């Protein structure tokens, strides 16, 4: 009996090449897939919308450049929405490189809001190590934790900070989080201990871990999960940012992964059939 040949495995370089083309083409020539807004993104949007003008709000930049593709569009959209609603934004960072991420996000949004003044409409208080203990200390007194901003200016010289002592004066906190320390610390401390509204954005891969916190106690008010969450938020505030354009590429990448799964299973099926026959 002649032995049937087992189907060969595709060389992984071909898989990489197909994926590269699949991601690159939609970035160069946008397809324009439609995107539905999820309830989670809507909750974040509603939280910002319901916060009165002139409120001081806080965005925590708890990520570094490795996750910039997913989290930076969220940062820009959230700053833009806050400024649209005339909120004053405090930026802090629990990750050392979060300071630069905040600087870049502000610089980008400032192009559309040149009238916003540092120290009056926004401040960047910089990085502080310590994770959850830092958040706890912020709940007591911001000025103790951040005596100066990221540039070394004493906090007493920042007009916007005059009215801020602790979380009681903060409208809401949004943590853009790529891991620990980050969003979980804010939920457990800022919300659970100090009762401030906490929302967040995270990478797609860590989204499922945060969903239990969206509950009847509103430990988490909505969540922006990955690039899709960022694209949904951009569509809510009517801005076509990098997340919206990146969604086409991500959609094609997901489709290709599904195709690869099907191909892998067809091959496995064929191998099983040949093994049975022989």
Partner 1 sequence: MKRTIPLIITFIIGIIVLSSEFIPHKPFSSVNESLENWFLVISGFAILLGQLSLLRVNTFKVTEKAENWQYYLAGLISFAIMLLCGIFWGTQDAAGLLGNGDKIISSLGTKPFEYLFVNVYQHLSATMFALLAFFIASAAYRAFIVRSFESTLLMIAAVVVMLGRTSVGTTMTAWLPQHLKFLHLPNIADFIMNYPNNAAQRAILISAALGIVGSSLRILLGIERSYLGGKD
The Cα 159–Cα 163 span in angstroms is 8
H/E element, 174: strand 170-177
Among 51, 67, 199, 221, binds partner 1 (CB under 8 A): 67
Looking at the Cβ atoms of 51 and 177, the one nearer to partner 1 is 177
Closest CA to 39 of 262, 249, 222: 222
Among 46, 64, 108, 180, binds partner 1 (CB under 8 A): 64
Looking at the Cβ atoms of 55 and 132, the one nearer to partner 1 is 132
Residue 125 in the binding site for partner 1 (CB under 8 A): no
Residue 23 in the binding site for partner 1 (CB under 8 A): yes
Find the shortest distance in angstroms from Cβ 56 to partner 1.
Answer: 23
User: Three-state DSSP class for 237?
Assistant: coil
Q: For the beta carbon of residue 81, count every other beta carbon within 10 angstroms.
A: 21
Diameter over CA atoms, the chain: 89
The Cα 69–Cα 40 span in angstroms is 20
Find the shortest distance in angstroms from Cβ 85 to partner 1.
Answer: 27
The Cα 72–Cα 103 span in angstroms is 11
The contacts of residue 80 (CB under 8 Å, 6+ apart) are 109, 112, 113, 237, 239
DSSP-derived letter for residue 147 is S
Looking at the Cβ atoms of 116 and 128, the one nearer to partner 1 is 128
- Using the Cα atoms of residue 186, residue 191, residue 192 and residue 195 in order, give the sign of their dihedral: positive
Looking at the Cβ atoms of 120 and 266, the one nearer to partner 1 is 266
Residue 69 in the binding site for partner 1 (CB under 8 A): yes
Residue 275 in the binding site for partner 1 (CB under 8 A): no
> Can you state the percent helix, strand and coil of the chain, rounding each to 5?
55, 15, 30
- For the segment 221-250, give every residue that binds partner 1 (CB under 8 A): 225-226, 228, 231, 247-248, 250
- For the segment 193-212, give every residue that binds partner 1 (CB under 8 A): 204, 207-209, 211-212
The contacts of residue 36 (CB under 8 Å, 6+ apart) are 232
Span interacting with partner 1, options 78-86, 108-116, 131-139, 166-174, rule CB under 8 A:
131-139
Binding-site ranges for partner 1 (CB under 8 A):
9-10, 12, 15-16, 19-20, 23, 33-36, 38-39, 64-69, 96, 100, 103-104, 128-131, 133-134, 136-137, 140, 144-145, 150-152, 204, 207-209, 211-212, 225-226, 228, 231, 247-248, 250-258, 260-261, 263-265, 268
């Amino acid at each position: 009996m002649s032995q049937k040949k087992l189907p060969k495995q595709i060389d992984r370089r071909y898989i990489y090449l197909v994926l590269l083309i699949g991601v690159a083409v939609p970035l160069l020539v946008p397809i324009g897939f439609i995107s539905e807004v999820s309830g989670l993104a809507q909750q974040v949007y509603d939280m910002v919308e319901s916060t009165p003008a002139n409120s001081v709000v806080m965005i925590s930049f708890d990520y570094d450049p490795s996750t910039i593709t997913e989290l930076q569009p969220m940062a820009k959209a959230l700053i833009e929405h806050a400024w649209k609603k005339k909120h004053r934004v405090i930026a802090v960072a629990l990750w050392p490189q979060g300071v630069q991420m905040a600087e870049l996000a502000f610089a980008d949004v400032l192009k559309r809001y040149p009238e916003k003044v540092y120290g009056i409409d926004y401040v960047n208080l910089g990085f502080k190590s310590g994770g959850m203990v830092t958040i706890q200390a912020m709940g007591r007194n911001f000025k103790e934790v951040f005596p100066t901003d990221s540039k070394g200016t004493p906090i007493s010289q920042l007009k916007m900070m005059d009215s801020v002592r602790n979380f009681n004066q903060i409208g809401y906190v949004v943590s853009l989080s790529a891991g620990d320390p980050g969003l979980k610390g804010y939920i457990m401390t800022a919300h659970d201990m100090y009762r401030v509204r906490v929302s967040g954005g995270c990478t797609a891969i860590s989204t499922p871990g945060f969903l239990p916190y969206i509950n009847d106690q509103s430990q988490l008010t909505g969540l922006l999960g990955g690039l899709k969450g960022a694209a949904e938020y951009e569509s809510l505030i009517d801005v076509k940012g990098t997340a919206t354009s990146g969604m086409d590429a991500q959609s094609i990448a997901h489709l290709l992964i599904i195709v690869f799964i099907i191909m892998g299973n067809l091959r496995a099926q064929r191998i099983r059939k040949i093994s049975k026959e022989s």
